[in-house]
């Protein structure tokens, strides 16, 4: 086991019971159930192979929110996490209620559609009234371009609120999305330059677009990278790439101050994906990172963006204001 340091998981998703499955429903409405059965079979086969490779159990259906919150609070204690950040969780009000059960363990982000007519005011409400601490957007599923100036009121609100904004770019394997106007992090160029006060965090090391993310981060000092997930996408690149290699490249370019640890954890019985933590810690130690650099990557940078005191050597962190 790699030497541990205080750990703040900046990228997780609260498991909620879904009222509907829009990807499935939309596909069936257009193409029919028989074709969906074939597509779903590919996806399930892929998931089984991935879980087998990592030694993960099959996921359980999400239970009631109070039960899932209790189990996640136990995960925070079991793995001695500083906190866990849930980027999504069934809507802003619902997630705020979940986070409110364990405010010393959980942090939540707003995650509504930025193209909503009231998106800017909803972001203000989510942060000022509900106590959410950031904003999560999945760019490839948006109805329009992420650099459309009609979204500038949203970014203006985020900048005034002083919150981090996490934006997923890259393929969405289980939604069948591998292209589009918002697939590359470069789509964020004009927004990141226009709103330099927003820390934009791009997850999964760029998820298929590491070159583009590096170029974006080269010209925009407010662009960060998060390390979350299995980063299975590296297997589908046309050249050899590893998580250790990604750490090396980002450390050599943007440096340890703009790298943020996350796991993309969500479902049970897996809970907190400790395997990802161990792999990434090992990579950092083997690359010769100092303890201060490792502490920054695995908790300190996230704490700074969230506006909380950095954890002490035992992992304790000041209460949220």
Mark whether 245 and 200 lie in a shared domain.
yes
The pLDDT value recorded for residue 315 is 59
Q: Which of 192, 59, 37 is nearest to 202 (CA)?
A: 192
Q: How many domains does the chain have?
A: 2
Mark whether 43 and 89 lie in a shared domain.
no
Per the domain annotation, does 139 fall within a domain?
yes
Q: Domain holding 233: CATH number?
A: 3.20.20.140
Helix (H) or strand (E) holding 92: helix 92-101
Per the domain annotation, does 52 fall within a domain?
yes
Please list the ranges in the chain whose pLDDT falls under 70: 1-3, 313-321
Per the domain annotation, does 225 fall within a domain?
yes
What is the C-alpha to C-alpha distance for residues 1 and 275, in angstroms, rounded to an integer? 10
Percent of the chain with pLDDT over 70: 96
Contact 12, 87 (CB under 8 A): yes
Per the domain annotation, does 313 fall within a domain?
no
pLDDT in tens, 246-300: 999 999 999 999 999 999 999 999 999 999 999 999 999 999 999 999 999 999 9
Q: Which domain holds residue 40?
A: 18-60
Mark whether 108 and 183 lie in a shared domain.
yes
Q: Could you give the 3-state DSSP secondary structure of residue 135?
A: strand
Mark whether 158 and 29 lie in a shared domain.
no
The pLDDT value recorded for residue 313 is 63
The pLDDT value recorded for residue 45 is 94
Mark whether 254 and 175 lie in a shared domain.
yes
Mark whether 29 and 87 lie in a shared domain.
no
């Amino acid at each position: 086991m790699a030497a541990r340091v205080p750990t703040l998981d900046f990228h997780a998703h609260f498991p909620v019971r879904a009222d509907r499955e829009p990807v499935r429903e939309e596909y069936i409405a257009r193409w029919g159930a028989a074709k969906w059965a074939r597509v779903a079979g590919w996806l399930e086969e892929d998931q089984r192979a991935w879980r087998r490779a990592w030694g993960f159990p099959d996921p359980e259906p999400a239970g009631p929110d109070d039960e899932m919150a209790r189990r996640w609070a136990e995960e925070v204690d079991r793995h001695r996490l500083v906190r866990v950040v849930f980027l999504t969780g069934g809507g802003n009000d619902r997630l705020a209620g979940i986070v409110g059960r364990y405010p010393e363990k959980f942090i939540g982000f707003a995650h509504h559609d930025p193209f909503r007519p009231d998106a800017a005011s909803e972001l203000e409400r989510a942060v000022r009234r509900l106590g959410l601490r950031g904003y999560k957007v999945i760019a490839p599923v948006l109805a329009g371009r992420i650099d459309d100036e009609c979204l500038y009121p949203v970014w203006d609100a985020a900048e005034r609120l002083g919150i981090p904004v996490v934006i997923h770019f890259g393929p969405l394997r289980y939604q069948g999305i591998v292209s589009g106007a918002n697939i590359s992090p470069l789509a964020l160029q004009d927004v990141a330059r226009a709103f330099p006060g927003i820390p934009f965090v791009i997850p999964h090391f760029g998820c298929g677009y590491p070159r583009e993310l590096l170029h974006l981060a080269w010209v925009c000092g407010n662009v960060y990278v998060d390390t979350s997930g299995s980063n299975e996408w590296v297997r589908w690149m046309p050249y050899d790439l590893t998580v250790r290699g990604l750490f090396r490249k980002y450390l050599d370019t943007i440096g340890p101050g703009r790298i943020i640890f996350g796991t993309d954890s969500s479902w049970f019985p897996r809970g907190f994906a400790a395997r990802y933590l161990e792999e990434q810690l090992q990579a950092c130690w083997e690359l010769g990172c100092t303890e201060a650099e490792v502490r920054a990557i695995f908790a300190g940078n996230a704490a700074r963006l969230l506006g909380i005191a950095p954890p002490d050597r035992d992992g304790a962190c000041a209460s949220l204001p």
